[in-house]
Structure 1
Amino acid sequence: MESSGSSKAKSITGGEAELKLCDAESKRAGWNTFPFITGAMALLMLAGTGWMTNLIVYLIQEFHVNRIDAAQIYNVVNGCFCLLPILSAIIADSVLGCFLVASVSSSIASLGIVLLSLTATLNSLRPKPCGNNKSSSCKDPSNLQFAVLYTGIVLSTLGVSGVRFTIASFGANQFESQKDQSTFFNWFFFAQYAGYILSSTLIVYIEDSVSWALGYWLCVAVNLIGLVVFIVGNRYYRHETPQGSPLLSLARVLVASFRKRKLQLPLISDEFYYGPHGLNKEVDVPPKRNFRFLNRAAVKADGDTKSDYSIAKPWRLCSVQQVEDLKSVIKMIPLWSSAIFLSTPIAVQGSMTVLQALTMDRHLGPHFMIPAASVLVMIMISGLVSLALIDRLGSSFPLWKKLIGSPPTVFHRIGVGHLLNVLGLIVSALIESRRLRTAHLHHLQNVNNPTVPMSALWLFPQLILVGIGEAFHLPGQVSLYFQEFPANLSNSATAMVAATIGISYYLSTVLVDLVRRSTGWLPENLNNGRLDCLYWLLAGMGMANFGYYLVCAKLYKIKDGSSNSGLPMSDDVGESKMRS
């Protein structure tokens, strides 16, 4: 009897342990993780963009950097901010996982912002202030001061970049249904934008009007709190084993096709590799004849496969499906390149608008002055309002239907974005012409750092147009890539847009440097220059790029081979993916 009772007790104990285990598992993933992931993202973005948004002003005022050079540095940092997340995503997918990459990146960001805070706190780490506002009396920073400054910028940029996409992907992996994922992404990016807006207003105001040191140390504190919030939620997270980045499979196709470039293409389909199961082919037809040089990557050769028919040499043999995936990406390159040339003028416009604001009257009443970097928040605000309106209107647009005769497609949406941004550049040129006339009227051409008696609120119309344009073309691009990319590469759609913006920032630095070397449009004192001419040049380039986009869109064939009108702007699947 005692033995029987003991056995029953063990059974009950075992059952309770199993129930506790099931209960613990039920608390993992899902909406339990939501407050930790979105809260961490909002805090990390608040800290990351808090120093980045005001970087131009900090370099000019505290390190005596030339105004155009400061704008160039700002564009390079923003380029890294958009391109480096792709590298962090590859590392997370292939080796470390999203949680570890995001945690390490946040720690690196904290270290970088600490260095920036030290440059703002310790007088020995920045040059002495200029005397009497004359550039001739400004002392250049020492090599040590520049080293600490740029090390802080590099580490901060690396850290913030490593957080953005990895936390987004990590959060999406906590949900099973597409509906929950779509809802998560909506709130996740709302938290990210809220952090950006708060940093562009509150943090920037503290840096400009109270103390650079206080603003930067506040960024350090917020970044550390965000890291703690993210790590505390670890008990609720579901971790997935890295399976390898799909972007690497595209690289393997390129390498394999180059290594087999002298190989004769076979005439029968059985000589191509279709997958590890041989007969259960992923694609039951030979590779298509477009981009035929890539088909060699799928040709089987001696030693390419193992006894179980799996690939023995991944960089010498790829499946037909992998080859076709790369072809579908290559087919998108012309449209993608038109987006690069669309974003390049926007990058130039953003940095130059901050320089314009520095020369204008930014007072709102007798006691408040708008920080120069804060004017850019109008792009985000107008973009968010426009997105909400577009989302509510959907594909109805009665005026559009009257003019075109059919509902708008994603191609139409992107095209409208092109035209709105050209219009924004034209408005920028007209506003700058008025600012220059006002400066000349008051004889401010030869005055160092003058304030032109013209309100900085005049800059808002051009920024509002940029925001509305982005509400059209950026989601339109993501939606197009999601619908046209292979299923296993759908998550790379956001990376494509990020790469577009990142490359455009680098191209903008090249363009500005070329204009500065070949013309007199961009001197240190903008009142002596012709920034309006640069805007007119960008508007002309924008119109030429719009024509290029129209040609690319006209020639493009969607997956099913029909015309591009088959991609409605409000496609349910496209819209839910677009928001992610």
Structure 2
Amino acid sequence: MSHSEGSTLGGWTTFPFITGTLAGLTLAVAGWATNLVVYLIEKFHVKSIAATQFVNILSGCTSLLPVVGAIVADSFGCYSVIYLSSFISLVGIILMALTSILNPLRPQPCEIMNGSCPIPSKIQFAVLYCGVALGAIGLGGTRFTIAALGANQFDRVKDQESFFNWYVVILYASAVTGATAIVYIEDNVSWGLGFGLCVVANVASLCIFFSGSRLYRRDKKQGSPFLSLARVIVAAFRKRKLGISSKAEDYYHGQDMTKEILVASTPTKTFGFLNQAALITEGDITSDGSIAKPWKLCTQQEVEDLKTLIRIFPIISSGIFLSTPVAVQSSLTVLQALTVDRHIGQHFKIPAGSMIIFVLTSAAISVTLVDKLVCPIWQKITHHSPTPLQRIGVGHVFNALGMAIAAIVESKRLEIVRNHHLINHPGSTVPMLVLWLVPQLVVVGFGEAFHYPGQVTFYYQEFPKSLRSTATAMISVIMGIAYYMSTGIIELVQRVTGWLPDDINNGRVDNVYWMLVVVAVINFVYYAICARFYKYQSM
């Protein structure tokens, strides 16, 4: 790692505090969110597919909420958003812990004799869902805002890229720890103790975050950049009938319109109709050079910022279809794991909710291998480092491969189900080791080691500087939309086909995976076209 930046604030001295905060918060959320499907099924008696759909919707919320936190952070600063969201998260986890500790806050256990399970009351559901909602809001305001705060501590692109690599490693390593140690305690010792450890991890992260307060480099509060982008659209529409000028001096570049600024700020021709938002007309500028009517005139830089977002949008859209198959797989893998033999040795049984650790572990290890081994070999062969778009493209390939492996393994599982006559025998264990499900997860994790850091780096470097927090949250927004799409896909498949019944031994989950392979391949072709024609802003 390089030395601290020249300033007394920021640099690598803030790294332990920022990543320590990330580790604690990730440990906490992994402890409750990873095992939520099992908690809903076992303690609140929710049907398996319904529980899966609920968690998919929740995952979508926790992925979309970061953009709200990022918008607020871009307007008012990352620091305030992180500590307020951490407190909200803490309250949510405490409520979930109470549902596991206090008998009146959860339904009575199922009756073994007749197999009937009491339905939770509205109050019991309300407390649980309130806790989950607050936990989701807290996660939304912290995870990717921390990434923006961390990257903002550095001036050099190389340091920023190094930080993002460490960010992904620590994020995944913490998630693995939470999804194994805490989930194991929840399944085998006590749900109350498991959720209690999540509370402790959240409190510890807050203490670590505040300990580094005097060292952080904080951005000045400049108001919402999204308001500026909205002004560009309105101003361009209001001036749509005006002619377009090719002279830089006809456009507004701010109060200090020096000759150097005019030369460097000649409007680009792409999406030229937006340039009219910065076109100066009579009465647009006051005597001191400021804007007289903000919704009628914008700076040329604000116009260019909006153009940048439009150029990036095709890459963003391809990222949605990259994450959708992974979202579907993460849900279905838990259901698959519940049907097979999860024993490793005589005394250890892998919790179904912990299957995600194989993706996380694979990704955490692979990020280091990619950074230390693959990238140097790539550079030696091609004489340049892999670009963020190239890394994302490799991730697309491994994603499709992971879905294909998942389809083949599920075909094998269903063959065993038929050979042992387990169809229409819900609850029966399929004589197949859970380790058969690992290769598909490892391949997907290896793909994430390429496309996840690649996307975070790409958006941070290519987004306008005024939208840095939003840039780091874009990967989360993409994942959020993907989770909602995965919910829609599962719902559609249930309605149109018989592939996804409540007892998946009677279904055809392998066909669902093959469908995802087709989606992944088509999306890769679309992405390759988008990446081929994209021109980097920062190169």
TM above 0.5, yes or no, is: yes
In structure 1, what is the equivalent of residue 4 of structure 2?
none
In structure 2, what is the equivalent of residue 22 of structure 1?
none
1:335 to 279, 290, 315: 315
Q: Is the 8 A contact 2:86 2:142 kept in 1?
A: yes
Write the distance in 2 (CA, Å) between the matches of 1:413 and 1:235.
Answer: 36
SS of match in other structure, 1:90: helix
In structure 1, what is the equivalent of residue 275 of structure 2?
295
1:165 to 139, 144, 164: 144
Write the distance in 1 (CA, Å) between the matches of 2:149 and 2:207.
Answer: 16
Aligned sequence identity (%): 52
| 2:517 counterpart of 1:536 | no
In structure 1, what is the equivalent of residue 105 of structure 2?
125
1:229 to 199, 208, 232: 208
Q: Which one scores higher on RCO, CA 8 angstroms, separation ≥ 6?
A: 2
Q: Is the 8 A contact 1:81 1:158 kept in 2?
A: yes
Write the distance in 1 (CA, Å) between the matches of 2:73 and 2:197.
Answer: 29
Write the distance in 2 (CA, Å) between the matches of 1:426 and 1:394.
Answer: 24
Q: Deviations 1:26-74 (Å, cap 9, x if unpaired)? A: 9865555444333232112211221011111111111122222222222
In structure 2, what is the equivalent of residue 564 of structure 1?
none
In structure 2, what is the equivalent of residue 440 of structure 1?
418
| 2:68 counterpart of 1:87 | yes
Structure 1 residues 291 and 133, CA gap change in structure 2 (3 angstroms):
farther
In structure 1, what is the equivalent of residue 51 of structure 2?
70
C-alpha displacement at 1:172, in angstroms? 4.4
| 2:524 counterpart of 1:546 | yes
Q: Is the 8 A contact 2:396 2:447 kept in 1?
A: yes
Write the distance in 1 (CA, Å) between the matches of 2:160 and 2:308.
Answer: 26
Q: Is the 8 A contact 1:275 1:281 kept in 2?
A: no
Q: Is the 8 A contact 1:342 1:545 kept in 2?
A: yes
Question: 5 Å matches for 1:121-270?
Answer: 121-132=101-112, 137-174=116-153, 186-237=165-216, 239-266=218-245, 268-270=247-249
2:27 to 46, 59, 62: 46
In structure 2, what is the equivalent of residue 358 of structure 1?
338
Q: Is the 8 A contact 1:275 1:319 kept in 2?
A: yes
AA aligned opposite 1:469? G
Write the distance in 1 (CA, Å) between the matches of 2:113 and 2:508.
Answer: 23
AA aligned opposite 2:204? I
C-alpha displacement at 1:300, in angstroms? 2.5
SS of match in other structure, 1:454: strand
Write the distance in 1 (CA, Å) between the matches of 2:13 and 2:395.
Answer: 38
Structure 1 residues 494 and 170, CA gap change in structure 2 (3 angstroms):
closer
Higher mean displacement: 356-365 or 307-316: 307-316
Structure 1 residues 487 and 174, CA gap change in structure 2 (3 angstroms):
closer
In structure 1, what is the equivalent of residue 404 of structure 2?
426
Cα RMSD (Å) of the superposition?
A: 2.9
SS of match in other structure, 2:348: coil
C-alpha displacement at 1:175, in angstroms? 5.5
Write the distance in 2 (CA, Å) between the matches of 1:185 and 1:476.
Answer: 9
Write the distance in 2 (CA, Å) between the matches of 1:268 and 1:398.
Answer: 44
Q: Is the 8 A contact 1:40 1:229 kept in 2?
A: yes
Write the distance in 1 (CA, Å) between the matches of 2:453 and 2:166.
Answer: 16
Q: Is the 8 A contact 2:74 2:469 kept in 1?
A: no
In structure 2, what is the equivalent of residue 573 of structure 1?
none
Structure 1 residues 110 and 484, CA gap change in structure 2 (3 angstroms):
closer
Q: Is the 8 A contact 1:133 1:448 kept in 2?
A: no
Write the distance in 2 (CA, Å) between the matches of 1:546 and 1:184.
Answer: 28
Structure 1 residues 109 and 331, CA gap change in structure 2 (3 angstroms):
same
Write the distance in 2 (CA, Å) between the matches of 1:164 and 1:369.
Answer: 30
Higher mean displacement: 271-280 or 455-464: 271-280
Larger Rg: 1
Structure 1 residues 102 and 424, CA gap change in structure 2 (3 angstroms):
same
C-alpha displacement at 1:229, in angstroms? 3.0
Q: Is the 8 A contact 1:79 1:503 kept in 2?
A: yes
SS of match in other structure, 1:453: strand
Write the distance in 2 (CA, Å) between the matches of 1:241 and 1:557.
Answer: 30
Q: Is the 8 A contact 2:225 2:467 kept in 1?
A: yes
Write the distance in 1 (CA, Å) between the matches of 2:8 and 2:86.
Answer: 26
Any stretches of 5+ residues in structure 2 without a counterpart? Answer: 1-6
Structure 1 residues 481 and 83, CA gap change in structure 2 (3 angstroms):
same
C-alpha displacement at 1:500, in angstroms? 1.7
C-alpha displacement at 1:543, in angstroms? 1.2
Q: Deviations 1:301-353 (Å, cap 9, x if unpaired)? A: 44433322123443332111221222122112222211111111111011111
| 2:369 counterpart of 1:389 | yes
Write the distance in 1 (CA, Å) between the matches of 2:96 and 2:258.
Answer: 59
Write the distance in 2 (CA, Å) between the matches of 1:170 and 1:207.
Answer: 33
Q: How many residues align?
A: 532
Using structure 1 for the length normalisation, give the TM-score.
0.84
C-alpha displacement at 1:160, in angstroms? 1.8
Q: Is the 8 A contact 1:120 1:212 kept in 2?
A: yes
Write the distance in 1 (CA, Å) between the matches of 2:400 and 2:158.
Answer: 36
